[in-house]
Amino acid sequence: MIKSILAAVSLFACSSASPLALSDKSAGTGPYPASWFTESSLPNFTFYMPTAPTDSQLPVVLFGEGGCENNGTRFEPFLTEIASHGFLVVANGPPNGTGKTNSQYQRDASAWVSARAGKPGRYAAVDASRMAAAGQSCGGLETYLQRDNPYVSYLGIFNSGFLPGGNASSNLPDGTTSEDPSTISQVHKPTFYFLGGPTDIAYANGERDYHALTGVPKWIGNFNVGHSGTYRQPNGGVFGVAAVQWLQWVLQKNATASLFFTAGGAQAANWTEVESDGLGSL
Ligand SMILES: *[C@@H]1O[C@H](CO)[C@@H](O)[C@H](O)[C@H]1NC(C)=O
Ligand SMILES: *[C@@H]1O[C@H](CO)[C@@H](O)[C@H](O)[C@H]1NC(C)=O
Ligand SMILES: *[C@@H]1O[C@H](CO)[C@@H](O)[C@H](O)[C@H]1NC(C)=O
Ligand SMILES: *[C@@H]1O[C@H](CO)[C@@H](O)[C@H](O)[C@H]1NC(C)=O
Ligand SMILES: *[C@@H]1O[C@H](CO)[C@@H](O)[C@H](O)[C@H]1NC(C)=O
Ligand SMILES: *[C@@H]1O[C@H](CO)[C@@H](O)[C@H](O)[C@H]1NC(C)=O
C-alpha cells in the first residue's frame, strides 16, 4: 500500500513538476491552422479548433492533462497540432487555470459539444458522433472513466495505467479518483496506449493494462523518452505525430493513417515494444 501511494504521488508529482518549455505558438502542421479559445458557457475548458471554417467535418477529442491539472494550455503545442488536422479538441481546464480536474470534466465537455454540434454557428462542422477521450498520466485515469461515457467511442492512454492498490472509493492525495487495475475488465472500447518506455513511471502499469485488456481492438507502443513525453516540443513532437495518426484513423477513417499502427509505421518512427490485437475490426 505504501508502495502504491508512493507510486501515485510520483506519478502526479513527476508530471506537474516537469520543466516548462517555452510554449511554441505554432498553428500546427496540419491543413487547418488552429488556435485555442474559451467559451463563457463552459468556462472550465480550453477549446482548440481550426481557426478558419473548414470544408470537412470535425470529430471531437476530450483531453485530460497530466497531474489532472486544471490548465487547458498545459499541452498547447500537442493539442494545437491535433486540431490543425481537422479536430475540435476540448481540454480540461481554462488557460492557466489552477487546481485539479476530475473525470466529470470530460463528461461535461462531451454533453456540451453534443448539444451544439452540427447546429448553425461555430460548431456547425463538428461531428459529435465521432468522439475520443484521451489523457496523459493522471489525465489517462480520467480517460479510463470515460468508458461509460456514451458519447465516447475510443480511449487514448498516454503515459498512464491504473495505479496498483487504487480503487474507486479511494482518493489520491490530490483528491482525484483512482481505480484498481482489475477495473480494466470494465473497459469495452478500443484503446490505444502511448508510453514512454521503461523509464516512464507509468510504463509497468500501462503495459499491464494493455495485456489485461480483452475483447476490444488495442494497440500499444513506447517511445523511449520517459514519462513526460514530447508534448511541449514544437507541435507536440513524436507523441503529436502518433496521436494525429491514431485520431485520423479511428475518427476520420483515414486508411493511410492506419498504416502507422498496422504496417510498421510506428516502428519506422522509432516506437518500440509495439503490440496490437484486433485492429482489423476498426
Ligand atoms: C469551474 O471549476 C470550479 C472549480 O475549479 C468550480 O467551482 C465551478 O463550479 C466550475 N464551473 C462550472 C460552470 O462548472
Ligand atoms: C499552464 O501551462 C503552461 C504551459 O506549460 C504554462 O506556461 C503555464 O505557466 C501554466 N499555468 C499555470 C497556472 O500553471
Ligand atoms: C499563462 O502563464 C504564462 C506564465 O506562466 C504566460 O506566459 C502566459 O501568457 C499565460 N497564458 C495565458 C493564456 O494567460
Ligand atoms: C480501497 O479504498 C478503501 C476506502 O478508502 C480502503 O479502505 C481500501 O484499503 C482500498 N483498497 C485498496 C486495495 O487500496
Ligand atoms: C490521411 O492521413 C495521412 C497520414 O497522416 C495524411 O498524410 C493525409 O493527408 C490524410 N488524408 C486526409 C484526407 O486527411
Ligand atoms: C529513428 O532513429 C534513427 C537512428 O537514431 C534516426 O536516424 C531516424 O531519423 C529516426 N526516425 C525518426 C522518424 O525519428
Q: What is the mean pLDDT of the chain?
A: 90
- CA 252 vs CA 23, 47, 155: distances in Å: 28, 19, 15
Task: Please determine, for residue 8, whether its predicted confidence score (pLDDT) is greater than 60.
Answer: no
Distance (Å) from CA 169 to ligand 3 centroid: 35
C-alpha cell at 152: 465516447
Q: Which ligand is nearest to the CA of 99?
A: 1
Q: Which amino acid is at 48?
A: Y
Cβ atoms of residues 140 and 75 within 8 Å:
no
Q: In which residue are the cell numbers 499502427 written?
A: 261
Q: Whose CA is nearest to atom 1 of ligand 6?
A: 270
Please state, in angstroms and rounded to a whole number, the distance separating the CA atoms of residues 31 and 196.
28
Q: Which atom of ligand 3 is nearest to 95's Cα?
A: 13
- Within 6 A (CB) of ligand 4 lie 165, 167, 169-170
Distance (Å) from CA 258 to ligand 5 centroid: 10
CATH code for position 206: 3.40.50.1820
Helix (H) or strand (E) segment spanning residue 27? none
User: Which of 83, 99, 162 minimizes the C-alpha distance to 91?
Assistant: 83
C-alpha cell at 156: 487514448
Q: In which residue are the cell numbers 477495473 written?
A: 183
C-alpha cell at 72: 487547458
Task: Please determine, for residue 218, whether its predicted confidence score (pLDDT) is greater than 50.
Answer: yes
Q: Is the CB of 181 under 6 A from ligand 3?
A: no
Please state, in angstroms and rounded to a whole number, the distance separating the CA atoms of residues 200 and 160.
9
Cβ atoms of residues 68 and 138 within 8 Å:
yes
Task: Please determine, for residue 2, whether its predicted confidence score (pLDDT) is greater than 70.
Answer: no
Task: Please determine, for residue 23, whether its predicted confidence score (pLDDT) is greater than 60.
Answer: no
What pLDDT band is residue 165 in, cutting at 50, 70 and 90? confident
Q: Which ligand is nearest to the CA of 270?
A: 6
Q: Is the CB of 169 under 6 A from ligand 2?
A: no
Q: Model-level pTM greater than 0.75?
A: yes
Cβ atoms of residues 139 and 78 within 8 Å:
no
Mean pLDDT lowest for which of 1-5, 104-108, 231-235, 267-271?
Answer: 1-5
Q: Which atom of ligand 6 is nearest to 268's Cα?
A: 13
Cα 58 to its chain centre, rounded Å, is: 17
Distance (Å) from CA 96 to ligand 2 centroid: 5
* Burial classification of residue 143, based on how many CB atoms lie within 10 Å of its CB (0-12 exposed, 13-18 middle, 19 or more buried): buried
**DSSP symbol at 52:** S
Q: Which atom of ligand 4 is nearest to 4's Cα?
A: 14
For residue 25, the model assigns a pLDDT of 82
Q: What is the pLDDT of residues 123-164, one digit of tens each?
A: 999 999 999 999 999 999 999 999 999 999 999 999 999 988
- Within 6 A (CB) of ligand 1 lie 43-44, 70, 99
Q: In which residue are the cell numbers 513527476 written?
A: 14
Containing structural domain, residue 136:
2-281
Q: What is the pLDDT of residues 84-97, one digit of tens each?
A: 999 999 999 999 99
Cβ atoms of residues 217 and 193 within 8 Å:
no
Q: Which ligand is nearest to the CA of 86?
A: 5
Q: Domains in the chain: how many in total? A: 1
Distance (Å) from CA 21 to ligand 2 centroid: 10
Torsion of CA 213, 107, 130, 45, to 10 degrees: -120
Q: Which atom of ligand 6 is nearest to 269's Cα?
A: 13
Q: Is the CB of 73 under 6 A from ligand 3?
A: yes
Task: Please determine, for residue 24, whether its predicted confidence score (pLDDT) is greater than 60.
Answer: no
Q: Angle at which helices 237-252 and 76-84 pack, to 10 degrees?
A: 40
